[in-house]
Amino acid sequence: MSSSPKLQQRLQLFGENIRRVRLERSLSQEHLAHAAGVHRTYLGSVERGERNVALANCYAIADALGVPLEDLLRAPQ
Amino acid sequence: MSSSPKLQQRLQLFGENIRRVRLERSLSQEHLAHAAGVHRTYLGSVERGERNVALANCYAIADALGVPLEDLLRAPQ
């Protein structure tokens, strides 16, 4: 996906946060993907910041992790 | 767009927040749409909660309003 550097940073932060929380919960990509109703390879690309994710999937992933979406959009506190 | 009631509520909250902040800043839909690089009719449908907006446009709208995206995703404080 082509995008501005700032958007790219934001998508990468989103993906890194998903990955961090997923690992904190000892979930595999496959488990989280299934819980969120997305494909494992799609989740992998989201975690790498390669996807311009739409809100429905943002919320599905946040809900499957049990965190507010807002927490996945900002740097860890 | 067909979606779960919960997602629909979330998209409506997002749209209502955009509209509220836009009006607080006395911006027309046309002005905000131009600033965010989206079409006015698209912004209208976002404000009505009819769009599963992807992060690039979420951030473009938040940036054009001068608020963190997180503020547009939750109920007003």
0.90 cut: is pTM over it?
Answer: yes
Interval B19-29 mean pLDDT:
98
Q: Which of B3, B58, B70 sits opposite A74 (nearest CB)?
A: B70
Distance of CA A7 to the CA centre of its chain: 14
Q: Give the pLDDT confidence score for residue B77 in this predicted structure.
A: 77
**A61 three-state secondary structure:** helix
Contacts with A52 from chain B: Cβ below 8 Å: 54-56
Q: Is the pLDDT of residue A45 over 60?
A: yes
Instruction: Name the nearest CA neighbour of B14 among B45, B56, B40.
Output: B45
Give the model's confidence band at A1: pLDDT under 50 very low, under 70 low, under 90 confident, else very high.
very low
CB B14 within 8 A of CB B53: yes
| Domains of chain B, CATH where assigned | 5-67 (1.10.260.40)
| Minimum CA–CA partner of B5 in chain A | A56
**B47 three-state secondary structure:** helix
**If you count them, how many residues does chain B have?**
77
Give the model's confidence band at B23: pLDDT under 50 very low, under 70 low, under 90 confident, else very high.
very high
Query: Contacts from A57-60 at CB under 8 Å and sequence distance 24+?
Result: A58/A14, A58/B55, A59/B7, A59/B10, A60/A36
Contacts with B15 from chain A: Cβ below 8 Å: none
Residue A76, Cβ density class (10 Å: 0-12 exposed, 13-18 middle, ≥19 buried): exposed
Q: Give the pLDDT confidence score for residue B45 in this predicted structure.
A: 98
